[in-house]
Each structure stands twice: as C-alpha cells, then as structure tokens.
A and B are shown apart, each in its own frame.
Chain A
C-alpha cells in the first residue's frame, strides 16, 4: 500500500501546522500584551518554530 506514505505525510503536516500555529498564536498574544518585548518574542518564536519544523522535515523524509 504505497498510498499510506502520503497519508503519513499528511498527518505530519497536520502536526507541524498545529504546533507552529499554536506558537504563532501565543506569540501574537504576548506581543499584544507587551509590545516592547516584540524582539525577544519573535526570536523565541522563530527558534521554537525551527525546532518543530526540524522534526517535521525529518519525519517527512522518512515517509
């Protein structure tokens, strides 16, 4: 069943999407609360997003 590969890939994308979406969402909330800390929040958001994307890509390559 080669089609299952693509189902797996889709699941991975869902997972990554949810993860990064949540990070982005809470980052936006935080920026709204305290606009002076925007720089630090952006930095932290990017780092967390890259980590999640790293796993996502690794899994995508396996699938």
Chain B
C-alpha cells in the first residue's frame, strides 16, 4: 500500500513538470482572450455595456476552459499564482505583478518579462515591455524556461494530496482494524477490487498483474477525480489540456515499452505463423501501431473532456442570450441534463483509459501463449 502512495507522488511530480507545455498549449488562444476576460471582469464591474453579451460569454467560457496564472474562484476572490521562470537563475514572483492589463512588464532580479498578446507565453523584454515580432507575426524575444504554477498545476497538486490522504488513510485503517477499512476511503475499496478483478487480472494475467496495479489504480483515480473537479464551478479543465493527457499517454507507452517481454517484440517485428514477405510488410505497421495506440488514448481523453466542457459552457451561455423565460429555462434544463451526462463521461473516460492501458500491458507482459 505504501508503494502505491509513493507511486502517486512520483506521478504527480512528473505531471508538475509537464506544466511547461501545459501552460504553453493552453495559452495559445488563451491569453489574449484571457486578458480580454480580465478586461471583461474589470470593465464589467464598472460598465457592463462596454462589452457585448456575446463577448462576455466568450470571455467566461475561455476562463473556464483554459489555463491561467491566477485562481479565480468567485467574483473578487482571485488568488494570483506564482510564476517560476528559469533564465540563468531562478525567478520567482507572483503573477499579480503582471497586473490585469495586457502587456504589463514584471521585473525580477534585474530582468523584465512580459506576457505576449497572442499566445500568453512569457518573454524576456526590456524595461518598456517591448515584444518584437518577425514578419510572420511570431514573437522573436527570448523565452525563459517557464515552470510556473498555473491553475491546472495547482489543481493537480491538490488532487494528488487528496488522493494521498484518502488512500493513505484507508491503508492505515486496514492495519488498525484488522482488514476492515474505516473512514472516507471505504467507498474506494470496491472500486480498487473491481480494477484488480475485472480489469487487471483478465487482461494482464494472474502472474504479472501486480506490477502494473500501482499505475492502473493511480491513473484511474487521478483521471476520475480530475474530471470531477473539472465539473465544479471553480473552472479547472485539467484533462481538457492536451499536454496533461499527453503525459498520461506517454507514461502508458513508457511502461509498455520498458516492461515488455521478448514475445511482445516478437509479435511486433517477426510475428510467428505469418509468411516472410507479409512479416516484412507488417513489421513497420505494427511498430507504428505501438505509437498510435497511446496517441489515441491521449486524443480520446482530451477530445472527450474538451468537447464536453465546450458544449456545456456554450449551453450555459445560451441561457443568458435568450431574452424570454422559456428559452432560458430550457437551456438550463439542457445544461443540467448534460452535466449529469458529463458525470458519467468523467467516470467512463477514466475507466476506458485504465482498461486500454491494461490491455496494452497485457500484450506486453504476455508470455508464450500457444496460438
């Protein structure tokens, strides 16, 4: 049980490192709309007529779907998260230094940094905050290594802590109560057993399933909890971020590749029972298949979560566009129904990810089976 929790921590640490690309990808179309949303919030406090309803809705949607440097919980409660840059030395400052207006310059240890309009990346600039663009419109300033704690990263860390507490408590209660769990983690025991008995053992086999249980349990509960957090109003869409799902898929790929037995590679490159010309043709296709399977895992989780949230947010926005009471209440009903469906999808996607990972592990760990 303690090995399992240790595995959790390593995994979470790995994810925290991936926040680099996480933030970059999301900032792609976020920061100019994020600054727009900040402007929307700022201006909506002063003058709601300044931004049309559609723009406000768009800003709100982006705020929910995309990553950002501050944790905006409700109205005025807004936690600016730290920005950590590595640029010949570590720079650590709060994102409030960037302010709520676009292109404000933050100064740290003598160098100046500014967030670009286009893609929200942090660039090194001079004191005036000038970001130069080349003829294609791409920024040419130097970019420091961005290790900031963004909203997604903070939420991942919190999820990790929650998992740690839940499962650690459950494990300790087994020792204290002689095999019966007590406390909040009790409800997780049937799920853990289900994963072991219905997912791991049938796919991986009695002999080797234990090695993979750590990862399967971690990934199932992580994806499930993170998806559930995405449905709350705090607006953190973590698995809707392709860098996060990429990390998960890469972990599956690494585990299959590095724990694979000889039979696995034999089945890919020199499959038994097939005439030699076919073997030569099939080998590159099979090799490609080993990459495409985790790739599909990544895309599946990402697209399901992203699309679900986009549709849900759009329908909620629709609620505000309709002027009459009928349209708004119907939209509300639809949004409610869709949220229930999203709950199912949250669990289902976690389950599918786990099942497919177990399938791939099974094919990797398979010993010589008589065909």
Q: How far does the alpha carbon of A50 sit from the alpha carbon of B349 in the complex, in Å?
A: 8
Residues of B within 8 A of A47 (CB): 352, 355-356
Are B296 and A58 in contact, CB atoms less than 8 angstroms apart? yes
Task: Give the contact-size bracket for chain B.
Answer: 10 to 19
CB-based nearest A residue for B296: A54
Residues of A within 8 A of B303 (CB): 54, 57-58, 60-61
Report which of B296, B304, B349 forms a contact with A55, defined as CB distance below 8 A.
B296
B97 at the A/B interface (Cβ < 8 Å)?
A: no
Q: How far does the alpha carbon of A60 sit from the alpha carbon of B352 in the complex, in Å?
A: 20
Are A57 and B299 in contact, CB atoms less than 8 angstroms apart? yes
Interface string of B64-93 (1 = CB under 8 A from A): 000000000000000000000000000000
Are B348 and A50 in contact, CB atoms less than 8 angstroms apart? yes
Are A54 and B351 in contact, CB atoms less than 8 angstroms apart? no
B161 at the A/B interface (Cβ < 8 Å)?
A: no
Residues of A within 8 A of B351 (CB): 46
Task: Give the contact-size bracket for chain A.
Answer: 10 to 19
Interface string of A31-61 (1 = CB under 8 A from B): 0000000000001001100110111011011
Report which of B198, B300, B355 forms a contact with A54, defined as CB distance below 8 A.
B300
B307 at the A/B interface (Cβ < 8 Å)?
A: yes
CB-based nearest A residue for B301: A54
Q: How far does the alpha carbon of A47 sit from the alpha carbon of B304 in the complex, in Å?
A: 14
Residues of B within 8 A of A61 (CB): 299, 303
Task: Mark out the residues of chain B between 334 and 370 whose CB falls within 8 Å of any chain A CB in the assembled complex.
Answer: 348-349, 351-352, 355-356
Residues of A within 8 A of B198 (CB): 43
Known contacts A43-B198, A50-B300: A57-B352 contact under CB 8 Å = no
Residues of B within 8 A of A55 (CB): 296
Known contacts A57-B307, A60-B307: A46-B299 contact under CB 8 Å = no
Residues of A within 8 A of B297 (CB): 54
Report which of B296, B300, B348 forms a contact with A46, defined as CB distance below 8 A.
B348
Q: How far does the alpha carbon of A46 sit from the alpha carbon of B199 in the complex, in Å?
A: 13
Write the nearest CB–CB distance from B209 to chain A, whole angstroms.
17
CB-based nearest A residue for B297: A54
Are A58 and B348 in contact, CB atoms less than 8 angstroms apart? no
Residues of A within 8 A of B307 (CB): 57, 60
Are A53 and B296 in contact, CB atoms less than 8 angstroms apart? no
Task: Mark out the residues of chain B between 266 and 309 whose CB falls within 8 Å of any chain A CB in the assembled complex.
Answer: 296-297, 299-300, 303-304, 307
Q: How far does the alpha carbon of A46 sit from the alpha carbon of B350 in the complex, in Å?
A: 12
Indicate the member of A43, A51, A55, A57 with the most B CB atoms within 10 Å.
Answer: A57
Q: How far does the alpha carbon of A56 sit from the alpha carbon of B303 in the complex, in Å?
A: 9
Are B299 and A54 in contact, CB atoms less than 8 angstroms apart? yes
Indicate the member of B198, B303, B348, B356 with the most A CB atoms within 10 Å.
Answer: B303
Indicate the member of A46, A47, A50, A55 with the most B CB atoms within 10 Å.
Answer: A50
Residues of B within 8 A of A46 (CB): 348, 351-352
Q: How far does the alpha carbon of A46 sit from the alpha carbon of B351 in the complex, in Å?
A: 10
Indicate the member of A46, A51, A58 with the most B CB atoms within 10 Å.
Answer: A58
Q: Which residues of A contact B (CB under 8 A)?
A: 43, 46-47, 50-51, 53-55, 57-58, 60-61
Known: A50-B348, A55-B296, A58-B299. 11 other contacts (CB 8 A): A47-B356, A50-B349, A50-B352, A50-B356, A51-B300, A54-B296, A54-B299, A54-B300, A57-B303, A58-B300, A58-B303
Task: Please name 9 pairs of A and B residues whose Cβ atoms are closer than 8 Å in the assembled complex, sorted by A.
Answer: A46-B348, A50-B349, A50-B356, A53-B300, A54-B303, A57-B300, A58-B303, A60-B303, A61-B303
Nearest 3 A-B pairs (CB), nearest first?
A57-B303, A54-B300, A50-B352
